[in-house]
Structure 1
Amino acid sequence: MEREPYFFLSYARRDDRGSAFVRRFYDDLLAELGRLGADCSGQQPFLDIERIGLGMDWESALGSEIGHCRALVALCSPAYVNSPYCGKEWAAFESRLLRYREQTDIEVPALIPVLWVPLHNAMPPEISKYQYFEPPMGQEYLEQGLMGLLRSAPGGRAYRAVLELVAKRVHHVADLFRLPRAHGLDLGTVRSPFEGREPTGPGRRTTGHVRVFIAAGVTDPLPTGRQRHEYYGPSPLDWTPYHPPIHPTVAYRAQRVIIDEGCTSSLEVVDRGLGEKLDEAMHNNQTSVLLVDAWAARDSQYRAPLSDYDRQNHPVTGVLVPCHETDEESVDEKLWTDLQQVFRRNWMRRNDPYDPLFQVQVERQRFESRLARMVVVAQNRLMEQAVPRRLPAGPSAPPMPGLNVPYTPPPSSDDPTEPPGRTPPQKDQDDEL
């Protein structure tokens, strides 16, 4: 049987870095659906950190799930409206609703907005045309959003009221309707309907390109001293430092964080040309991030270029070294002593709260928040020292109209059809050419 997720939970990663509120709501929604008699076991709902595994193409996986799910629950917030991929998920699912309406003349309420964090301005019309509030949800929900209710009273009456109504809507549409599927959906071709809708606050949004360099091991051969195969794949880009295969690759997680910060990104594997590439990135007014596997950093393939980085000055490059807190192999002090020898100069500033560009032993729940801050700080530093690009030399610009021509009063006109003060049209020099 072809997979049809009971629902797809769409949310902005910036809203939930390390706080686990999204996961709590997802689990509570599953429990409430079970209480209503829904059987989701055969068509497991989609939560990206749970369903995108080791070595998967995350963009294709998202497209497939959006193209087949029965309902979409969108956790709306300023970050959601400003996330390009949240907008793509919304638009792709909405297109399936429109196709169903064209085929059957039936409006299916399967796109379910939830006010996660109140927006600074009015709800965008693309969202407000769908019902996101009912009186039983209460005024507290409108004022605080569902994440606010979870923070203040996770088991309280106000939170439960919203949860029950959302679950009833999901249960109704998922069991009653079958939307047309979108096979081979390419989210890269989908445009977000929210572009430019919601400001994120003064100075919050950044723009630019981040080059992500990964220094990680592979399954064959494993990094020196490593025994656990499940953290690796055939390529360094398949590295999954956080409890695989449940959580997605570190490359996927990093790209989603960077996208949510308003930047584009590219992925590369660290090689001996790393220093030149970092210099090239800065010359092109780009920032860089090195994601380093402490085990792989011991091997000569990475040790030499990472040590070269450490000896040079790269003010807009960040380094982040993940570490899974329950990986017993990674608690060995010798592993981190060896890493210290690779990053001798930078080691003294590790995990400095005032200089967040060198972060080591970063646990899963802190990965996204630390990487986001790293990206923003690097972008701000780049702006302070960006090299202006001079335009190519060309012909002089023509004089501004009226600046070098003596003013002459407009001639009087006896034509009663001419409004007062209007100058009759005159032929200028350009008309004669």
Structure 2
Amino acid sequence: MPLELESYFFLSYARQDDRDDVFVSRFYEDLVAELDRLGEDCSRQRPFRDVERLALGADWERTLGREVGHCRAMVALCSPSYVHSLYCGKEWAAFQSRLENYQARTDIDARALIPVVWAPLRGPVPEVISRYQYSEHELGREYAEQGLMSLLRGDPAAYRRALRLIARRVQYAAGSFRLPTVKGLDLGAVRSPFPAQSTVAPTGRSTGHVRLFVAAGATDALPAGRRRHEYYGRSPLDWTPYHPPVHPTVAHRAQRVILEEEYTSSIEVVDDTLGSKLDEAMGENQPSVLLVDAWAARGAPYRAPLSDYDRQNHPLTGVLMPFHQSDDESGDGGLWEDVRQVFQRNWMRRNDPYDRLFRVQVDKEHFDDRLAEMVIVAQSRLMENAVPRRLPAGPPAPPMPGLNVPAQPPPLAEDPDDDD
């Protein structure tokens, strides 16, 4: 694979630690800036962080697998959430397997997996992590006791000291070793090494996939009565109801929430075939969620398919309508009266705490939780009522390779010296 297509490093982290991506984003940017200060130009081998590099509607699992299989180093932000995250465990195991393959070929212990204490772990540190220099004394007592995220928030001097040492370790790893790449890495087949995490993907009657549908306007086709352009982009998939957006789009944010629930997702725009697509999804044991712009729901081309949805029975489909307090136009009672006419049947159960599949006027602070609730409720219904899908018979899967953790790397003193 050409050098310029490799990521300089892969940032592995649990999204539950930082829902709004404020602190992870700050650390990522600071780390790239520190590498630049050390003379490393990452522009041709851009580091990988999912929010920045995952395209809207992308196959998350395939993209993550490709990047873990080709990155030059991996920085893991370890925390209680990290060791309970299925996909963090898969990323760790997949990259560690590359280190083992490299050592088998070269007899070199590559020090390219860099665990960082993002938030201190409760109880014993998993052996697979503790065998690395997880809590290094060079990083300071505050780092070991509080974690890097806490230092970022309240101790700038200790944070900068730890950041410099982490950057040196990344620079050394990316520049010293050429790990074998893995094409077509399937994270779905990788087992997590963390004892707190299940070793298999979501089970039961679900396929582990959620279908997202967006009904929203665009800058060149604003919904009737709408005057503010800043909430829209070139296509409905560029809709940002929470402005200024923390995430690129609400669709991208929804995909992140679903990934946190350990499911994959796909996304498309609502059209006249919505009803048949929802039926298809139910037949495939896949829940669906409609992300609806209240302004766009009132007229063409969305009113008819949304009204058809309302008249039909789709027990595995949720509806979520974002609302931002600063959007004075959307505070108009007439807008929501029109929306009530579109969803005449479902309107009676809006924001019902006992039936969480129809949510209106969802603000930015509650979007993630409301969407996660929808997925959980829909999955529960699916497990109770769906017909199991039979898979064709075949030979058993081969065993996964063992996880022989490389020996502990030497102290940082052997790395290139910092000029500071």
Normalising by the residue count of structure 1, what TM-score does the alignment of the two structures yield? 0.67
CA RMSD, 1 decimal: 4.5
1:119 pairs with 2:137: no
Counterpart code for 1:194: P
Alignment of 1:15-94 (within 5 A): 15-18=17-20, 20-54=22-56, 56-94=58-96
Give distance in 2, aligned partners of 1:309 and 1:133: 54
Provide the residue aligned with 1:393 in structure 2: none
Cα distance in structure 1, aligned partners of 2:100 and 2:10: 18
Q: Residue in 2 aligned with 1:321?
A: 321
Q: Which moved more, 1:347-356 or 1:88-97?
A: 347-356
The letter of the residue matching 1:163 is L
2:193 aligned with 1:191: no
Counterpart residue type for residue 186 of structure 2:
L
Q: Which residue type is aligned with residue 50 of structure 1?
A: E
Instruction: Determine the C-alpha separation between the residues in 2 that align with 1:212 and 1:111.
Output: 34
Distance between the aligned counterparts of 2:4 and 2:314, measured in 1?
A: 49
Question: Letter of the aligned partner of 1:22 in structure 2?
Answer: V
Which amino acid in the other structure matches residue 33 of structure 1?
L
- Aligned residue for 1:117, secondary structure, equals coil
Equivalent residue, structure 2, for 1:371: 371
Does the 8 A contact of 1:84 with 1:259 survive in 2? Answer: no
Return closer, same or farther for 1:56/1:98 CA change in 2, 3 Å cut-off: same
Alignment deviations for residues 55-106 of structure 1 (CA, whole Å, 9 cap, x no partner):
6444443333323322111112333233333233223322332232233221
Alignment deviations for residues 257-277 of structure 1 (CA, whole Å, 9 cap, x no partner): 234224566667656676788
Contact 2:69–2:185 (Cα < 8 Å) also in 1: no
How far off is 1:179 after superposition?
2.5
2:261 counterpart of 1:261: yes
Q: Partner residue of 2:343?
A: 343
Give the counterpart letter for 2:319 in structure 1: V
The aligned runs of 1:202-351 (5 Å cut-off) are: 209=208, 211-216=210-215, 231=233, 239-242=237-240, 253-263=253-263, 270=270, 288-294=288-294, 296-310=296-310, 317-322=317-322, 338-344=338-344
Q: Deviations over 1:152-202 (max 9, x none)?
A: x15252x334323211211222233333333x433345413236x2269xx
1:272·1:305 contact (CA, 8 Å) conserved in 2? yes
SS at match of 1:319: strand
Shift of 1:133: 1.2
Partner Cα distance (1:113, 1:155) in 2: 21
Separation (CA, whole Å) in 1 of partners of 2:58 and 2:281: 28
Match of 2:156?
Answer: 155
How has the CA–CA distance of structure 1 residues 178 and 55 changed in structure 2, closer, same or farther, with 3 Å as cutoff?
same
Deviation at 1:4, TM superposition (A): 2.5
Q: Return the alpha-carbon distance in structure 2 between the equivalents of residues 256 and 54 of structure 1.
A: 11
Q: What is the rounded CA distance, in whole Å, between the counterparts of 1:279 and 1:120 in structure 2?
A: 44
AA aligned opposite 1:14:
Q
The match for 2:177 is 177
Q: Do the aligned partners of 1:230 and 1:244 also contact (CA within 8 Å) in 2? A: no
C-alpha distance in structure 1 between counterparts of 2:386 and 2:53, whole Å: 44
TM-score, normalization by structure 2: 0.69
SS in 1 for 2:156: coil
Unaligned runs of 5+ in 1: 391-433
Which whole-Å CA distance do the structure 2 matches of 1:189 and 1:288 have between them?
21
Shift of 1:49: 1.1
Q: Give the secondary-structure state (helix, strand or coil) at the position aligned to 1:371.
A: helix
Structure 2 unpaired stretches of 5+: 389-420
SS state of the match for residue 2, structure 1?
helix
Whole-Å Cα distance in 2 between the matches of residues 213 and 253 of structure 1? Answer: 12
